[in-house]
Amino acid sequence: MRIIESVSGMQSAADEFRASGRKIGLVPTMGYLHEGHLELMRTAAEQTDVVVTSIFVNPTQFGPGEDLERYPRDFDGDVRKAGGVGVGVIFAPTAEEMYPSGFQTRVRVERVTRHLCGLSRPVHFEGVTTVVCKLFHCVKPDVAVFGEKDFQQLVVIERMVTDLNMDIRIVGVPVQREPDGLAMSSRNAYLSPDERRSALSLFKSLELAKRLYKDGERSARMIRTAVLELISSHPFTSVDYVELCDSGSLESVEFLEGKTLLALAVNVGRTRLIDNCTLGS
């Protein structure tokens, strides 16, 4: 496995892969890899000839007071884990390499970023789209793989790729969960044992919503109220949002017709967690 730290080195390697007829798959990450990340890499390996995983804690997607400095890091462990699932290249640039002196360009996707996480994290998605666009230019992938746990991020990236005519196929992979249902996340490492138990309220609330939907409930207000009550009954929880929305536009809905996204963002102690499921088809 190759570890590349410079943009020019990554672009040269990508040119070599393409010249030899190999299809490139990209899995962008911020490191501290877990089984959810590894499943993205396995998916990329199934669909391409060489998998590139980027490990870069992107400063531009963190707002003031967020966890940029304390975001968990374990580069040596990440290298071992990625190598175990067939990753061929790790692209690990520094912040100075990605945002050199004088950098002044941003990529912004508009309407789908106005909802959900975009409300409480106003700089987040501009940072995401800017860095992902840069990664696409560095790695030159044929396929890029993202997790559906960050459902809004997936929608935003798909919108950017479509709007800017990027010749890249975006693949979404379902949420990967711990045996007890908690969605896998690097930020789970922040949780104390008591907080970890309360964090299960997110998964329990999604299961509750699925039962309500199966029993015929179609009112977004009724489902949202039930979800809020369940989460709030657990200690250490503070709800950022519980929203039912169209899975394409992310606009809120009053009644569930067709495929509807139930999206959650909850602070458990100091740790912000997200999760989601779809109701209907």
Q: Which of 34, 37, 115, 234 is catalytic?
A: 37
Which residues partner with 261 through β-bridges? 245, 278
Q: Which DSSP letter does residue 39 get?
A: H
Coil, strand or helix at 22: coil
Written as six digits, the tokens of 93 are 């640039």
Q: How many residues are present in the chain?
A: 281
Radius of gyration of the chain from its Cα atoms, rounded to whole angstroms: 19
Residue 21 C-alpha from the chain's centroid: 29
| Exposure letters 180-210 (e unless 16+ CB within 10 A, then b) | eebbbbbbbebbeeebbbbbebbbbbbebbe
* Strand order from edge to edge, sheet including 260-268: 237-246, 260-268, 271-279
Q: Is 234 a catalytic residue?
A: no
Distances in whole angstroms, Cα of residue 34 to Cα of each of 30, 138, 183, 190: 11, 24, 11, 14
How far is Cα 176 from Cα 148, in angstroms, rounded to an integer?
9
**Residue 108 three-state SS:** coil
Give the residue numbers marked as catalytic.
37
